[in-house]
């Protein structure tokens, strides 16, 4: 196995951080997180038009700043009625610095009048590990679903309160955390990434 340790998590989002730690609990690594690390923590940006470029940019920034391998993910929601948008711009759909709630309300308004049959969407995630020497590994995961007109549930984050995964009747925000992690785009991407790291020479 070739898991880098320590491995930094390039996210300041406490919800995402906890999700990653739970999904990757069985990775043989010591984690560096903004919450337990002493000393300055780099600020990362996601300026690109693809998940992969954003994930790699975030992981590279943290790997360079801390001198340790870094794990980053970038994810978004692809709404068929919006031509696949907002996609990699999901976190700033309502504008730069938008909150989850503002983004969610913007998407609900954008879909007003769209019938249930046209409310298909998918969450997509690319997770990447970058080593300080420049080596990179990444993997993708997605989760198909449909979008409600009104939010339900308090779990998760992002667009979870209106996203009903295929095969479920509850929204992602109504699932227990371990149910979400089993089927989510992030869970799938990180488990795929784990397989790639296990195979690394």
Residues contributing to the site for a copy of itself (CB under 8 A): 5-6, 9, 14-15, 17-18, 21-23, 25-33, 35-37, 154, 176-178, 181
Q: Give the shortest CB-30-to-a copy of itself separation in angstroms.
A: 4
Q: Shortest approach of a copy of itself to residue 128 CB, angstroms?
A: 19
Out of 73, 74, 160, 181, the active site residue is 74
In the bound state with a copy of itself, the residue whose beta carbon lies nearer, of 22 and 110, is: 22
| Measured distance CA(74)–CA(43) in Å, rounded | 15
- 80 in catalytic set: no
Q: Which is nearer to a copy of itself, 15 or 132 (CB)?
A: 15
By beta-carbon proximity to a copy of itself, the closer residue of 30 and 50 is: 30
Whichever of 37 and 89 has its CB closer to a copy of itself, that residue is 37
112 φ/ψ angles, rounded to the nearest 5 degrees? -55, 130
In angstroms, the CA 154 to CA 162 distance is: 11
Write the CB contacts of 38 (distance below 8 Å, at least 6 apart in sequence): none
Least separation in angstroms between residue 100's CB and a copy of itself is 14
198 CB-near residues (< 8 Å, 6+ apart): 1, 2, 3
Minimum distance from residue 181 beta carbon to a copy of itself (Å): 7
Nearer to a copy of itself, 14 or 118 (CB): 14
- Cα–Cα distances (Å) from 36 to 26, 30, 41, in that order, read 19, 11, 11
> Cα–Cα–Cα angle for 141, 142, 147, nearest 5°?
160
Residues 6+ apart with CB under 8 A from 34: 9, 11, 12, 17, 41
For the bound state, the minimum distance from the C-beta of residue 157 to a copy of itself, rounded and expressed in Å, comes to 12
Structure token digits, residue 55 = 């994930």
Task: Give the residue numbers annotated as catalytic, written as ranges.
Answer: 74
């Amino acid at each position: 196995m070739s898991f880098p340790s320590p491995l930094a998590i390039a996210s300041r989002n406490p919800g995402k951080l906890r999700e990653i730690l739970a999904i990757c609990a069985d990775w043989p690594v010591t984690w560096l997180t903004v919450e337990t690390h002493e000393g300055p923590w780099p600020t990362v940006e996601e300026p690109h038009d693809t998940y992969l470029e954003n994930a790699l940019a975030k992981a590279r920034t943290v790997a360079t700043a801390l001198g340790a391998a870094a794990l980053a993910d970038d994810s978004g929601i692809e709404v068929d009625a919006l031509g696949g948008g907002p996609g990699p711009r999901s976190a700033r759909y309502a504008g730069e610095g938008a909150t989850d709630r503002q983004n969610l309300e913007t998407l609900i308004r954008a879909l007003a009048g769209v019938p249930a049959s046209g409310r298909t969407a998918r969450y997509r995630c690319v997770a990447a590990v970058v080593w300080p020497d420049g080596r990179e590994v990444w993997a993708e995961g997605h989760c198909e679903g449909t979008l409600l007109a009104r939010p339900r549930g308090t779990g998760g984050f992002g667009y979870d309160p209106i996203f009903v995964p295929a095969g479920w009747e509850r929204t992602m925000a109504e699932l227990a955390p371990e149910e979400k992690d089993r089927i989510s785009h992030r869970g799938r991407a990180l488990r795929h990434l784990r397989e790639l790291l296990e195979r690394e020479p």
